[in-house]
Amino acid sequence: MSFRALRKLQGESKLTADIGLNLSESDEADLSPTGGARRKQRSVNPFELLNREQTPSDSEAKEDDDKENEDDKKSGDEDGEKSQSNDSLKRKKKRRRKKMKPAKDKSSEDNNDVEDEIEASVREVNKLLGEPAADDSAHRDSYSHRQRNLYSVEHRYLNSDNEMKKIFGSKIIQAEQNKRRGRGRGHVRSTWLVQPRQNWPHVGKPGISMSLLESRGDVHIFTLEHNYHYQQIQFQFLNAVDSFNPDNIVSILNMHPYHVDALLQLSEICKMADDLQMATALIERALYCFECSFHHLFNIATGNSRLDFRRAENRSFFVAIFKHLVYVGQRGCYRTALEFCKLLLGLDPENDPLCVILMIDFYALRASEYAFLLRMFSDLETERNLSQLPNFAFSVAMATYFLAIEAGKPLAEADKLLQNALLMFPGVLMPLLDKCCTQADSKVTKHQFFDPQRNQPVALTQLIQLYVGRCYHLWKEVEVMTWLENNVNEVIKTVDAKNPIVEQYEEKRQVRYKGTPRAIYRHIIMSEIKDATASLPSELTQTPVMSYDPLPPADAIITYTRPPRKPQTQDERNTLSIFFRSLFPNFTLEESQNQTDDSREAPTDGAGNGDSASTSNTNDLRQSVTSLLDAMRDLLTNIHLPEVAQDADDSDTAHDN
């Protein structure tokens, strides 16, 4: 507080007595209202009162003030007075530090003595009673903390546009963003998962909300909920899916533009029609709807928010993130895809219902995040046996190889890891070389150990095909292929020497890969890698798999049930619906035949469609449905809309006539 303010609050006489100033008559005149410019030039230390309160003793402060007053009387120059008061203030601070420092040292020494006595007593008690169990809990807490760090997400990497700017330049991406914004209304809200577009409709209250179920320490478990209005829309969507007519799904989105399951299903239809831009936009709109419904405690960045995949309301969020990261990865934004992998894995790390663990290594390598991949492997190896997965066995070796190349270190550790991976999974080599269009050496092709036809569990074959189909691009570099060739020769020497480790790995392969979990099947279906999809069992290929909810879990939690359906009318089973059903995966002619046979018993719609359908022969349908589908595809492909200007001219001409 300034001297003038203190003088106004406390009065001039009281303030002068507190500070200890002995003002002369000339000084009083200077402080009087008529002092003029000299009063303004007067330099008074405004912190003198605070310094007095912080001094060790009043006598010491009085001596300093007297000395300062004597200096003021001797000096007639105000500049000298100012410098002397500053010098005296510095001297007081130095003396104060010198006197307070021993007290601090003394107190710290006393605290150290007390802490040493406590630690000594604790050690004596531990010798008598043993180590407490708190150490285990501390270890578990540190382990869970490391896991949360693995699943934590950085917001800046969730925006694929930031990564695209690094690849193509900011000007090109900025122009594309301006083109994408258009002339829409500026009512969209800012989000982290996706960048909303200006032409999207207002989200309002879509009928989805999130609630907190329970908290386990610092881990929070949430669930998504549908209100009554959204449940009715969901029933309409299920009826539209059963009709196999995409027009019914489009009509639902026209009325309810943020129905997430309809967005997911229509996105799959657009992808099959090679309209990837529309498919990506629909997935982004679904994620935007979800983020607008988040609970205020749901934090995607900390890695401690959980969702139960068994609940049907939550599964759409998992599927939307999975599809979005695949689309982002196809655009070359591998760092963004890696962050979404961490987000998806952090939602349910114990169960991993979509098996993100089978692809997170691929995006880590493509994003050059080698240190993260090795840290994840070391933290989760004990709990999840990541080394028993082909993708992690080879990816960890490759990450070690790239780190050694960057640091200029020997490749001994990377060679060891790759040789162990080849010994454990010899069935990877030949499919990998075939995908890379590389001709193997005759010594390798003739060796029985790398024979792809040798006895290998089906579950392991599916994992190998999944890894090779996704990651074979990483092995096409000349340096990497040379490194692989050298280690293959070393493995052949180890096998020929009949090392016991070869038999041990053979026993592990026969024991550990007896069956394929349902989550891996779900991952294969959603990844759409042809080599892995071809190995799916027949019971999965013969049943329809819906894109919005592929392979629901057997122990699913159902919060509300669908009411009984009304029998379908004949107009819902016409030939056009058969064509649209052919766009869905797993379509068979037998299925359409059975549905046509059932339509004979269905009631007619009053327009005679039921009678015409009943007179159609099943054999004729079997023979003509293929040609009909081809004709419909050609028809839709060759449709050309008339030009707008020509229509306008025709309408004007008709109006004149």
Lowest mean pLDDT among 30-39, 63-72, 220-229: 30-39
> What's residue 588's pLDDT?
54
337 shares its domain with 473:
no
> What's residue 562's pLDDT?
87
435 shares its domain with 499:
yes
Domain count within the chain: 2
**Pairwise CA distance, residues 380 & 542, whole Å:** 36
Query: Residue 429's domain spans which residues?
Result: 356-516
Lowest mean pLDDT among 138-147, 247-256, 328-337, 521-530: 138-147
**Pairwise CA distance, residues 615 & 620, whole Å:** 11
Tell me the pLDDT tens digit for each residue of 202-236: 888 899 999 999 999 889 999 999 999 999 999 99
Lowest mean pLDDT among 184-188, 499-503, 635-639: 635-639
Report the share of the chain in percent with pLDDT over 70: 61
Lowest mean pLDDT among 128-132, 245-249, 308-312, 530-534: 128-132
Residue 529 has pLDDT above 60, yes or no: yes
Distances (CA, A) of 603 to 572, 575, 609, 621: 12, 17, 10, 21
Asked if 379 contacts 362 with a C-beta cutoff of 8 angstroms, the reply is no
Question: What's the chain's average pLDDT?
Answer: 76
Judge whether 116 lies within some domain. no
pLDDT, average across residues 118-129: 57
Q: Which residue has the tokens 């046509």?
A: 596
Judge whether 110 lies within some domain. no
Residue 646 has pLDDT above 80, yes or no: no
Name which residue leads in pLDDT, 135 or 394.
394
The H or E element spanning position 306 is: strand 305-307
Q: Which of 464, 484, 516 finishes a domain?
A: 516
- Residue 224, number of CB atoms within 10 A of its CB: 22
> What's residue 393's pLDDT?
97
> What's residue 32's pLDDT?
42
Would you place residue 166 in the very low, low, confident or very high pLDDT band (cuts 50, 70, 90)? confident
> What's residue 21's pLDDT?
44
Would you place residue 47 in the very low, low, confident or very high pLDDT band (cuts 50, 70, 90)? low
Q: Of 412, 481, 411, 409, which Cα lies nearest the Cα of 444?
A: 481
Q: Which of 102-116, 465-479, 590-604 has the highest mean pLDDT?
A: 465-479
562-600 b/e (C-beta count within 10 Å ≥ 16 → b): eeeeeebbbebbebebbbbbbebeeeeeeebeebbeebe
Q: Which of 516, 539, 566 finishes a domain?
A: 516
> What's residue 491's pLDDT?
95
Could you tell me the two tokens for 354?
Answer: 């979509």
239 shares its domain with 294:
yes
284 shares its domain with 419:
no
Tell me the pLDDT tens digit for each residue of 276-290: 999 999 999 999 999
Residue 342 has pLDDT above 70, yes or no: yes
Report the share of the chain in percent with pLDDT over 90: 46
Q: Which of 516, 539, 563 finishes a domain?
A: 516
Residue 472 has pLDDT above 90, yes or no: yes
Judge whether 108 lies within some domain. no
What CA dihedral angle connects 521, 527, 532 and 533, to 10 degrees? 70
> What's residue 126's pLDDT?
57
Judge whether 360 lies within some domain. yes
Could you tell me the two tokens for 127?
Answer: 């010798």
203 shares its domain with 317:
yes
Tell me the pLDDT tens digit for each residue of 550-597: 999 999 999 999 888 766 555 545 554 555 555 555 555 555 555 544
Tell me the pLDDT tens digit for each residue of 75-103: 444 444 445 555 555 565 555 554 444 44
345 shares its domain with 363:
no
Would you place residue 305 in the very low, low, confident or very high pLDDT band (cuts 50, 70, 90)? very high
The structure's pTM equals: 0.68
Q: Which of 158-162, 171-175, 259-263, 450-454 has the highest mean pLDDT?
A: 259-263
363 shares its domain with 282:
no
332 shares its domain with 384:
no
Asked if 197 contacts 281 with a C-beta cutoff of 8 angstroms, the reply is yes
Asked if 343 contacts 258 with a C-beta cutoff of 8 angstroms, the reply is no
450 shares its domain with 360:
yes
Residue 494 has pLDDT above 50, yes or no: yes
